[in-house]
Structure formats: C-alpha cells, structure tokens
C-alpha cells in the first residue's frame, strides 16, 4: 500500500487523530482490509487512485484488520473489505464488498464528496454569483455541485420558484445529497411561513393558549428558519403529541409534516438524531 498526503495507514493508536479528529476537517474514507483478501486487493488500488484524483476532497484511511483486530472488533467488521465514511467525528455511511468504481463515485457524491476542480471563487454578491454559476453550468452541464450552488444562491436572492426548479432537476447522484435535501426543506418551510402570522403574534397566542397547536406549529416554522432550531423542535414535538389525539380536521397544519421538514433542514446532526428519536417515541 502506498501512503501519501491523501492515503494513510491507520492503527488503533492513531485512529482518534487520523480518522475522528481529521473528519472534522475533511471526510475520511476508512478501508478495512487484509493482505490475504482478494477483493481487498482489487478494491484498494481503486480507492487509492480516487483519493489522488479527488486531491484532498477526502482522505483514505487504510486499516489492516489482521494487525488492528481491536478496531475491527470495535466496528464489528464481519467481512472484508468494508468501507466506512466519517464526517464530523461520526460514521455517516459505508458499504461492504468491492464495488465498481462508478458506484464508489456515486457513493461519494451522495455524501457531498466531489472531485476538486481548479479555482472556482464566486463573487460575494449573490446577483453576480448567479451569472457566474450559470456560465459555468453552460460549460459543464453535468456538474451537479454547480447546480446545487446555483440553487443555494437563488434562495439567498429570494428566487425560490427558480431555485425549486433547479433542485428538482439535479442529477441523480446529487439529488439525494444532504445539502440538496436541506435546501428543498428550506424552500418548503419558507413557503409555509409566507402564510404564517408574525412571530410576535404567534408567541402571544402560544403563551395565552398552550394547547393552540396551530400557533405552536407556525411558531416552530419561524423559529426553525431563525436561530432557535432546538426550541422549534421542542414546540413541534409537543404539538405532535397533542395532535396525535385530535381529529385531523381540528387543525389547519400538520405538526408531523412540519417536523419532518424541520429535521431535514436542521444542520446539527446530533439535534436531528435526537429529534427523530423523540418523534418516533410520540408516534409509535
């Protein structure tokens, strides 16, 4: 195995630094392998070549399961090769076996890992950046990452309808990416909030009538789009609990639908996991 700036041989002692801590800076693809494993020998060179081609978009961490049996046991590796992707200190995906190169590229794209391209410094002015992105997309129409950036910029300009069309037309390898899901959820929430009362009015209604689930849900939408996402989830969980025992015709907005959108929009993965766990506890 050839080590380089983008390919590391990781041990039990170095795992915390080389994988966990490093994944806060750049995605880390961990390859559990062994020298005697034929599929591992087929997969390894593909992963190493991709690490070089992606040029720092991810780091490849190679773990020899024979030498590092404690790590293999910790991650319950039952067959090799097994590949796991780490981001922000946590495992966010993976796959067993030696996948073809095309499927590996698709897996990386689904998790927001793309080939680094030459300098692409967009203008700080969103109206100018839209033009730059459109020109770049005209030259590279298959670049889903550029289309995703265009949708994000259009949202910043308030051009939600056009942003929605861009998001719906994304290539399949980008359509399901976390960033794309978040932007679609943001558009759904913004469409809802355009019909909602002011945040001050909603807070007054919730204070006066704690069982007013409509007010609680609308307030949750406004808070989620602001800087109070944890409070928004708390409100929506309480509203969901109340609505569970109400006739659906008794409220105008579904706490469950809004909570799903909020959990798709929120970026804090720990907050999202906790919210989904609490949501499941109420529903089931």
Question: Which tokens is 265 given?
Answer: 């929009």
Helix (H, G, I), strand (E, B) or coil at 34: coil
Burial letters for 83-106: b for 16+ Cβ neighbours within 10 Å, e otherwise? bbbbbeeeeeebeeebbeeeebbe
Residue partners of 260: CB distance under 8 A and separation at least 6: none
Active site residues: 37, 40
Examine the pLDDT at 207 and tell me if it is beyond 90.
Answer: no
Domains of the chain: 7-110 (3.40.30.10), 126-175 (no CATH), 193-283 (1.25.40.10)
Q: Which contiguous run of DSSP H or E holds residue 222? A: helix 213-224
46-55, 129-138, 204-213, range with the lowest pLDDT = 204-213
Rounded distance between C-alpha atoms, residue 224 and residue 192, angstroms: 12
| pLDDT at residue 1 greater than cutoff 70 | no
Q: What confidence tens digit (pLDDT) does each residue in 39-78 have?
A: 999 999 999 989 988 888 999 999 999 999 999 999 999 9
Is residue 83 within 8 A of residue 31, CB to CB? The reply is yes
Contacts of residue 206, Cβ cutoff 8 Å, sequence gap at least 6 = 212, 215, 216, 219, 235
What average pLDDT does this structure show over 203-225? 87
User: Per-residue DSSP letters for 223-258?
Assistant: HHTTT-HHHHHHHHHHHHHHHTTS-GGG-SS-HHHH
Is the Cβ–Cβ distance between 62 and 71 less than 8 Å?
no
Q: Is residue 192 within 8 Å of 259, Cβ to Cβ?
A: no
Would you state the pLDDT for residue 169? 92
Give the 3-state secondary structure of residue 262: helix
What's the average model confidence in pLDDT over 79-86?
A: 96
Give the number of residues written for the chain: 284
């Amino acid at each position: 195995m050839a080590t380089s700036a983008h390919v590391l041989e990781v041990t039990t002692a170095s795992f915390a630094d080389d994988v966990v801590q490093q994944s806060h800076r750049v995605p880390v693809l961990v390859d559990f392998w062994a020298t005697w494993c034929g599929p591992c020998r087929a997969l390894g060179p593909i992963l190493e070549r991709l690490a070089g081609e992606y040029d720092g978009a991810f780091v490849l961490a190679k773990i020899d399961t024979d030498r590092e049996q404690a790590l293999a046991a910790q991650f319950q590796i039952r067959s090799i090769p097994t590949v796991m992707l780490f981001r922000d200190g946590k495992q966010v995906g993976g796959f067993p076996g030696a996948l073809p190169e095309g499927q590996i590229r698709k897996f990386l794209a689904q998790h927001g890992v793309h080939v680094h391209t030459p300098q692409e410094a967009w203008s700080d002015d969103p109206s100018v950046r839209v033009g730059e992105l459109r020109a770049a997309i005209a030259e590279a129409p298959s670049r889903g990452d550029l289309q995703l950036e265009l949708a994000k910029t259009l949202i910043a300009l308030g051009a939600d309808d056009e942003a929605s069309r861009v998001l719906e037309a994304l290539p399949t390898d980008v359509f399901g990416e976390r960033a794309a899901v978040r932007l679609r959820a943001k558009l759904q929430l913004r469409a809802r909030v355009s019909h909602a009362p002011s945040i001050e009015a909603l807070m007054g209604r919730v204070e006066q009538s704690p069982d007013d689930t409509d007010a609680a849900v609308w307030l949750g939408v406004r808070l989620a789009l602001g800087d109070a996402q944890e409070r928004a989830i708390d409100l929506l969980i309480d509203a969901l609990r109340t609505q569970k025992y109400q006739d659906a015709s008794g409220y105008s907005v579904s706490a469950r639908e809004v909570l799903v959108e909020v959990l798709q929009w929120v970026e804090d993965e720990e907050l999202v996991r906790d919210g989904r766990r609490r949501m499941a506890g109420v529903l089931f």
